[in-house]
Amino acid sequence: MTNSFGSFCDDFFVEMCVNTQLDLPTQRDTILSFFERIQKQYPQLSSFSRRETGEYSLEQEEQGQRTRWVSLELDRITVGWAEPHKLHDAYAFQTAVLELIPFMLGVNVLDMDSLDVTFSMDFDYQGNHDEVIVEALLGASSFSALLDLPKSRPIGCCPSFVVSLSEDCRLQARVAVESRTTAFDVRNEKYKSEEPISLYFTVRRYPQPTPGFDAAKAFLEQCRIAEQLMFDKIIPCFVQPINNAIAQRR
């Protein structure tokens, strides 16, 4: 389907993440062979780097911004796409990498701790992010009672909520909203324009360690669930209230 989620925010990202029980391989030949195999299939990914943290990353850049990436950390593989025109294209890219990792990195279902699909949305706002989040999401909650105190202002509001989507709790959904406002910003009333409010919506699976587990099939099922929940819950109950609160301050 054509990506319509990007129309509700300033920046939109889709990421797949595989978290492993054991550390990933660090041998030079293994790392290079893995990224060379990806680059052969996706030649636009041409920027390879190793960061100080030990993370390896292969990225596609356009106008100085990364648009697609594959990264290896100590125990995590992340595959992302910024502003995909079609969500199906992002899923196909992520699934292609997912199908490589058993053969090239030795990651099987026994080693796979969790499998995630995450939709990330950034909302540009130069002001107190915490005030926006409180008004949009917590205005009628018990937390807002603290704002009745003299000289009270929100300076740390990053709500996060996780629910199970299956009886065994192996399939879960998590929504989190992140403020980048600090007490220093509020005290001096100087806010950075380049730091957005971010919303993260993740559907995570803790796989059953059985030989028949199909990671690609499971991931695509998670994508379908995540899309439906975005339409049914996240857009109307989280995204639109945030947009409304921002609009009232402009």
* Rounded Cα distance, 31 and 128, in Å: 42
Q: How far apart are CA 189 and CA 89, in angstroms?
A: 42
Can you state the percent helix, strand and coil of the chain, rounding each to 5?
35, 30, 35
Backbone angle region of 9, left / alpha / beta, with phi > 0 → left and psi within -120 to 50 → alpha: beta
Q: Give the tens place of pLDDT for each residue, 19-39.
A: 999 999 999 999 999 999 999
pLDDT digits (tens, 9 = 90+) for 113-132: 999 999 999 999 999 999 99
Paired sense of beta strands 47-50 and 76-82, if any = unpaired
Range of the domain at 56: 5-248
Q: How many domains does the chain have?
A: 1
Between the CA of residue 37 and those of 28, 32, 92, 107, 176, what are the distances in Å?
Answer: 14, 8, 16, 16, 34
**pTM for the structure as a whole:** 0.95
